[in-house]
Structure 1
Amino acid sequence: MTKILYSIIAIFSFQIVFGQDSLVKIDMLDSNWIIPENAIFENFDNKKTLLLKGKRATVRNLQFTNGTIEVDIYANFARSFAGITFRKQNDDMEEVYMRMHKSAQVDAIQYTPIFNNESNWQLYREYQAQVTFKNKGWNTLRIEVNNKSVEVFVNNQKTMTIDNLRTGHHTGEIGLFALFSNRFSNFRVTPKDVVDKTGSDPDTLSDPSIIKKWEITKANPYKAEELDFEKFSNEKFMTVETEISGLLPISKYVKKTSSGNFEQNTDDFIVASTTIHTNEEETKLFSFDYSDKIIVYLNGKIYFEGNNSFRAKGMQYTGHMGINTNKLYLPLKKGINRIHCVVIDKANGWGLMAKLESYVLQR
């Protein structure tokens, strides 16, 4: 009965005070938050705090569209991640987080969309920045959300601009994220009306050689010894579109059989296919990249196998992607040709990007 009463009070409070351009502080109290079992509310450093040990916490009964979200995060140089989630709808959301153990490094702060409960930071290398954090006391993370764009501040210093939020959500829940253990306090929100920004539409800028549509299968557990071309090539395929860069964020369209546990996930795979029609025998240049692993087939024959996983080539290897990283010269037969890409992933971003260009052999 007490919990129900707290919830009613919380809802009523937000309805009364949560107006445009009005700052609302959301205290670290059980009545205001939905938290995982191992999280703890406690007084620390003369503040009401939430100690979040992995997973996410969500503000109760609150939808957020545009405005400012701020939180104080206690200095912590053990390996950990601490940040803000927003526009959350089910298992999709936007996420900005600090990596205080990476202070002063180029990837100290990152943005990722979460699709089907999976992080995708490997796919968006452009959305990370160098930040030097305080090594004692509290660091303040602030995000200013304006329609599709976000400006990110740490201790009142602007660190990064996100110019194209990826989930496509216009509104949703807000909350906090921690991987391993971090302490939060002084969470506040200021809703604002959107301010239109002028500028070029990125959707009008495109390389015509980029493959913009793929046929993909559902996710299946990956076992190398059980992979069978005849079997997977006859699966049901659905048509999906890439981002303007050619990036296909696979988790946006496909739910993994093992998800949400980072490197504790098991490997899953999908098959992405495209068809090429030619009037004569010719060679095409296939440029591509992927995450985490790939097997490329042309007309049923394997032409490439690779591993681009996080840390696959050393402890500092990130596995970021670039469309010109890998190149194959594909001998096409007259008529219909099929490329099948088996894309295998465990965690951190499941992606594929490719382009196909004419190639003239120089003699």
Structure 2
Amino acid sequence: LSFSDPQWKFYGDSAKVETFDGRQVLRLENSAAARPDVRLQDGTIDVDVMTSRRRSFVYFNFRVQKEGEYEDFYLRPHKSTLPDAAQYAPVYQGQSAWQLYYGVRGTAAPDIVPNVWQHLRIVLSGRRAAFFLGDTVKPFMVVPRLARDPQPGYIVLIASVPGGTPGNGVAARYSNLNVRPGVIAYDFANAPAEPALPAGVIDKWDVGPAFAAPDSAVSAIAPEWVSSFRSLPIEPDGFVELHRHVPMPKVTRYVGAVARVRVIAERAGTRRLDLGFSDRATVFLNGTVIFSGDATYDFAARRDGLIAFDQASLYLPLRAGTNEISVVVTDRFGGWGIMGRFPDMTGLRLQQ
């Protein structure tokens, strides 16, 4: 795809098509370029990319349905060879869920060499994707399950540099872009299987409507937050991805919702619940606050806010019979989710 093709849509003053290293190049820095005429579901994307070592984010969005709805892949050149140097994440309602997709679900540690051309290849087949950098034989990352339902969509290239980032060098240059729908240039037969969930996972949550949440811990549940509920299933990874299911209100920072589950205990006693959340959670047991936690991303404090079952272990004083666990879960950015498991389900039953 020639970058001089008029089908390209450019966003941002720094998006430029130029000649560099004797080749046609798309130069991006805090800018984007889209090809809305491209329709790719399964196939192969090849492109040469050149980055710097500045703190920056070099994106290749694919299967884009519309603004704010797409699959996202990006490089973090400043984190070259670190576990999250490359990132896959779905985007719903304009919100990336990168805090929910890491490890085998969506991060890897390629060597991103600055100021040289490296060949990037992305191969898509149904729910699976393989990513290559500087090598078209062995992928550095194979995602066993893309989150969004496979649909044809277009592509968008983006590069961004956070404000105040020191150093110099163009965030990203792209060259020799080739999109081949229907060509699956990787054999997924030996791809890793989806990881199995541990026992005792809560497999669905009742979730109320979204609301604009305060930028602080919640100490009480407002009546309108529980005015209605709908049952939401977990993803194969064990969490409910709330941006996928819950329409967002117009908020400037935090969005929240109440996620509820009822557990029936044969007898009274203290039972452990492992809880994962993004970003903040306040837990009510039978109407009483028993826990509040904050895992909001904090760059200065080096806190990534990744969701996991081991974020918190709560020891619940359950009564005999039905117990209601309500979690007010709020999010600022990076992924809005809730997950939980009872390591020992003996004498317990989740109310269906």
TM-score of the superposition, structure 2-length normalised? 0.84
1:275-313 Cα offsets, whole Å, 9 max, x none, are 12334423322111111111111111111111112227x
Take 1:64 and 1:147, find their aligned partners in 2: how far apart are those partners?
11
- The counterpart of 1:111, out of the listed 75, 88, 100, is 88
**Residue 356 of structure 1, CA deviation:** 2.4
**Residue 99 of structure 1, CA deviation:** 1.2
Take 1:245 and 1:40, find their aligned partners in 2: how far apart are those partners?
37
Which range moves more in the overlay, 265-274 or 277-286?
277-286
Written as runs of structure 1 = structure 2, the 5 A alignment for 1:163-312 is: 163-180=144-161, 181-192=171-182, 197=189, 202=194, 205-223=196-214, 224=216, 228-232=220-224, 234-257=226-249, 266-311=253-298
**Alignment correspondent of 2:28:** 52
Letter in 1 for 2:248: K
Preserved CA contact (<8 Å) 2:51 2:113? yes
Aligned residue pairs: how many? 328
- The counterpart of 1:158, out of the listed 139, 142, 166, is 139
Letter in 1 for 2:98: W
Preserved CA contact (<8 Å) 2:218 2:328? no
Take 1:248 and 1:184, find their aligned partners in 2: how far apart are those partners?
36
- The counterpart of 1:80, out of the listed 56, 73, 85, is 56
**Alignment correspondent of 2:323:** 337
Preserved CA contact (<8 Å) 1:67 1:144? yes
Take 1:225 and 1:349, find their aligned partners in 2: how far apart are those partners?
18
- Matching of residue 124 in structure 1 with residue 116 in structure 2: no
Preserved CA contact (<8 Å) 1:148 1:165? yes
- What is the root-mean-square deviation of aligned Cα atoms in Å? 2.7
**Alignment correspondent of 1:146:** 125
Take 2:72 and 2:79, find their aligned partners in 1: how far apart are those partners?
18
Unaligned runs of 5+ residues in structure 2 are 162-170, 347-352
Take 1:122 and 1:87, find their aligned partners in 2: how far apart are those partners?
21
Letter in 2 for 1:245: D
Unaligned runs of 5+ residues in structure 1 are 1-25, 260-264
**Alignment correspondent of 1:95:** 72
Which range moves more in the overlay, 177-186 or 347-356?
177-186
Q: Deviation above 6 Å: which 4+ runs of structure 1? A: 198-201
Preserved CA contact (<8 Å) 1:283 1:358? no
Report the secondary structure of 1:158's partner residue.
Answer: coil
TM-score of the superposition, structure 1-length normalised? 0.81
Take 2:236 and 2:107, find their aligned partners in 1: how far apart are those partners?
20
**Residue 107 of structure 1, CA deviation:** 1.6
Take 1:225 and 1:271, find their aligned partners in 2: how far apart are those partners?
13
Which has more helix, going by share of residues?
Answer: 1
Take 1:199 and 1:70, find their aligned partners in 2: how far apart are those partners?
20
